[in-house]
Structure 1
Amino acid sequence: MTATTTTTGPEPSASPDLSKPVGDPPLLEVRNLTVTYGGTVPAVRGVDLRVEAGQKLGIAGESGCGKSTLALALLRLLPATAKLTGEILLDGEDVLTMKWGRLRAVRWAGASIVFQGAMHSLNAVHRVGDQIAEPILLHNAKATPAAARKRAGELLEQVGLPAVRAQAYPHELSGGQRQRVMIAMALACDPRLIIADEPTTALDVMIQAQILRLIEQLVADQDVGLIMISHDLAVLADTCDRLSVMYAGRVVEEGPARQVYAEARHPYGRALSAAFPRIGDLASRRAPRGLPGDPPDPAALPGGCTFHPRCPVALDSCATEDQELREAGGERRAACVLVDTPATDDSRNTA
C-alpha cells in the first residue's frame, strides 16, 4: 500500500465537550483523510474524525458511502491499490507513516477491529479459542500457549460465552455466538480503540440488542474508544455519544447522536432518519420513507454538492457549488447551504 501524508489545513474545531488539556492528544484524530483506488476513484474524501477514550462515535450512511473503507484505512488494512493521504493520529502517532514493524505492534494492541460477517472473518479449520489466543501470543513475548488459551477462555466468558466453547469450530456456533467470538478477539490485547464495522449484520433483533448492550458495557468498563459503523441511524443514536453521517465518501453531518437522529440538519441525514419507524411517539403513525435513487458512483461523482441529484430541497446553486461542513448550532455541523434555515415539517417529510 502506498501511504503518503499531505500538508493539511487547520484542525477542525473540537466540540466543547471534547476539549482536553493542551498537549494531551485525543485517542484518535483523523485529519483530511483521503482514500483513492487505482489512482482515480475517490472512496473517502477529506474526512476528519476525533475520538476520546471512553467515547462512542457512530458512522452512518448507505452502502457505498465509504464507511468500511474508512474503517479499514484506520489500521491500513486496505489493498495495495489504495492510496491514502492525510493523517491518522492514534495517541498522537501517525498510522500512515508507521513502518511495518510498528504498525504490526499497533494492530490489535493499540486498536482492533470487529469485522462484519464473522463467519467470513474466522478461520473455518481452527478452533475459536486458538484464534483468540493467536494475537495474544504474537503481541506478548512472555505469554505461553497455556496462558494464552486460559486468557481466551476468560475473554469468552467476558462476552457471555462459556469458556468450554473455545474448543468449538466457527460452524458449530450460531451467528450471535460467532460475533461474540469476534468481540473477544478484538479485546484480546487490551486495545484502547475498537472499530466495529457493522457488528450486528444479519443478526435477528434480539441477538442484535444483546450484542449492542455487550459492546456498550465493555466500552464503559474498560474506558476504550469505540467507532461503530452502521447503515442504521436508530441503532447508532441509541448506542453512541456522537454521530457522523457519510455520503459519497465525505462526512456531511456530525453532532450528538440523538440530536442528529431526532432532527438532522442535512437533508441526507433527515432522509436516513425518516427511513426507520419510531416507536412510542406521533411519528410512528407515519410509514417510514425511502430515499429515491442510489449513492453516486465514486468514479463519476456529480458536480457541486454530491447529494443534489437526490435532494428534495436542492437549490439551483447546489448543482455547481460544493458545500463544506459548517456550524449548525451547538455542537453540530452540516454540509448544506440551507443549514442556517430551520427545516420545516414539510421538508423533513419530503426527505
Structure 2
Amino acid sequence: MTATTTTTGPEPSASPDLSKPVGDPPLLEVRNLTVTYGGTVPAVRGVDLRVEAGQKLGIAGESGCGKSTLALALLRLLPATAKLTGEILLDGEDVLTMKWGRLRAVRWAGASIVFQGAMHSLNAVHRVGDQIAEPILLHNAKATPAAARRRAGELLEQVGLPAARAQAYPHELSGGQRQRVMIAMALACDPRLIIADEPTTALDVMIQAQILRLIEQLVADQDVGLIMISHDLAVLADTCDRLSVMYAGRVVEEGPARQVYAEARHPYGRALSAAFPRIGDPASRRAPRGLPGDPPDPAALPGGCTFHPRCPVALDSCATEDQELREAGGERRAACVLVDTPATDDSRNTA
C-alpha cells in the first residue's frame, strides 16, 4: 500500500497517489491481513498491500518472515489449520468470503501463482503439455482437448520453449525450462494477477536473469499485476516498481523499489541491502555484511519492536514500544522510531 503524499500547490505530484482509490478499484487490495496457525502462532500480522494492473510489487525478507504464507493466503491455499482475518479484495471482491465454487473459478483465471521449486510443483508422471492444458479445460467449458493442447504449445513458445516440449516429462527438462513451464501454466487462463513466489530459486545467475526478463516482458505485454517474492533485494529493485520489506510477519518498510534498495529507512531494510555487493560501484569496495541472528519464532515474538534484538541502532524504548508504519519521505513508509532521523553512512554500515 502506497503512502499518501501531500502537496501544497496546484501542481500535481510527480507520481500518482495509489493509496486513494480513483475510479475502478485496484486490481488487488489487502487490508489488515492476519494469518494465524493453530490459533496461537501469528505468521502474518496486519499486512496491507495494493497492486494496480500493470504494476510490479516486490516483497522481500529472510526465510521465516511470512512471505510465502502471505502469497498462499492471497488465494486461500493455506491448510485448514490456518485462520485468516482481514480483507483480500481482488477486483473489489473479497477472496476470504468467496464460496468454494467462486474461489475455484478465481484461481488460475483471476489470479495465478508460480510456486518456488518447479520440480515439486509439477506432476512427475504427466507430460508438461497436459499439465498446462488442464486449467484451460477446467476454466473454459468450450475448450476441447485438442484446442487446449494447441494453446499449451503456444504458451510454451511464448515463454521461450519449443511447442514440442509439451510432450516432455518434468524430469526431462532443466531447472530453467521447468520454471518456464510453471510460468506458462500461470498464464494459461489469462489471469489479471500473477504471484511469483521466489521464481528463480536454485537457478544459476544466467538463467535467473532470463526468467526475470521473461516475467517483466509478459507483465508489460499483457498489462497484468505482478507480486514478486524474494529474499534478494537487488533482484526486486531491478524488477519491480514498488517494494515491501517484511519482518516477523509484518511490512516494516515500503516505497519505490530502487529507493528502498539504495537508501532504506528501516534498519532491517538497510541490513538486507548491505548484504549484497554493488558490482561496478567504486564507492562500495567493502565485502557484503551479514546480519547476526535469525528472525524470531512466530510462537515467541519479542516485546516491543520485533527487530530490536538484532537492531544495531535500537533504543531502550524499542524493547517495549512497538512501531507502526509512518511517513518516511516521498512515497516511503517505515516502522522505526528513528525514521525521522536521516540515515547516515555509519548507520547503514553498522546495519
Structure-1-length-normalised TM-score: 0.95
Shift of 1:283: 4.0
Shift of 1:24: 1.2
SS at match of 1:3: coil
SS at match of 2:131: helix
Shift of 1:6: 30
Shift of 1:279: 1.1
Residues 16 and 71 from structure 1, CA distance in 2 versus in 1: closer, same or farther, beyond 3 angstroms? same
Shift of 1:344: 1.1
- 154-163 vs 2-11, which deviates more? 2-11
Contact kept in structure 2, 1:30 and 1:87, CA below 8 Å:
yes
Write out per-residue CA displacement over residues 120-158 of structure 1, whole angstroms, 9 at most, x where no aligned residue. Answer: 000000000000000000000000000000000000000
Residues 128 and 335 from structure 1, CA distance in 2 versus in 1: closer, same or farther, beyond 3 angstroms? same
Answering whether residue 316 of structure 2 is matched by residue 311 of structure 1, we say: no
Identity of aligned residues (%): 99
* Equivalent-residue separation in structure 2 for 1:55 and 1:136 (angstroms): 25
Contact kept in structure 1, 2:5 and 2:331, CA below 8 Å:
no
Contact kept in structure 2, 1:252 and 1:266, CA below 8 Å:
yes
Contact kept in structure 2, 1:8 and 1:32, CA below 8 Å:
no
Shift of 1:2: 29
Structure 2: gaps of 5 or more residues: none
Shift of 1:343: 1.0
Shift of 1:18: 2.4
Shift of 1:281: 1.2
Residues 287 and 50 from structure 1, CA distance in 2 versus in 1: closer, same or farther, beyond 3 angstroms? same
* Equivalent-residue separation in structure 1 for 2:308 and 2:203 (angstroms): 34
Residues 2 and 244 from structure 1, CA distance in 2 versus in 1: closer, same or farther, beyond 3 angstroms? closer
| Aligned residue in 1 for 2:330 | 330
Q: Which runs of 4+ in 1 moved over 2 A?
A: 1-23
May I ask how many residue pairs the two structures share in their alignment? 351
Residues 20 and 328 from structure 1, CA distance in 2 versus in 1: closer, same or farther, beyond 3 angstroms? closer
Residues 20 and 323 from structure 1, CA distance in 2 versus in 1: closer, same or farther, beyond 3 angstroms? closer
Contact kept in structure 1, 2:196 and 2:226, CA below 8 Å:
yes
Contact kept in structure 1, 2:60 and 2:244, CA below 8 Å:
yes
- 278-287 vs 234-243, which deviates more? 278-287
Write out per-residue CA displacement over residues 232-282 of structure 1, whole angstroms, 9 at most, x where no aligned residue. Answer: 000000000000000000000000000000000000000000000001113
Contact kept in structure 2, 1:4 and 1:83, CA below 8 Å:
no
SS at match of 2:17: helix
Residues 14 and 337 from structure 1, CA distance in 2 versus in 1: closer, same or farther, beyond 3 angstroms? farther
Contact kept in structure 1, 2:3 and 2:333, CA below 8 Å:
no
Shift of 1:17: 4.1
Structure-2-length-normalised TM-score: 0.95
RMSD: 5.1
Residues 219 and 5 from structure 1, CA distance in 2 versus in 1: closer, same or farther, beyond 3 angstroms? closer
SS at match of 1:148: helix
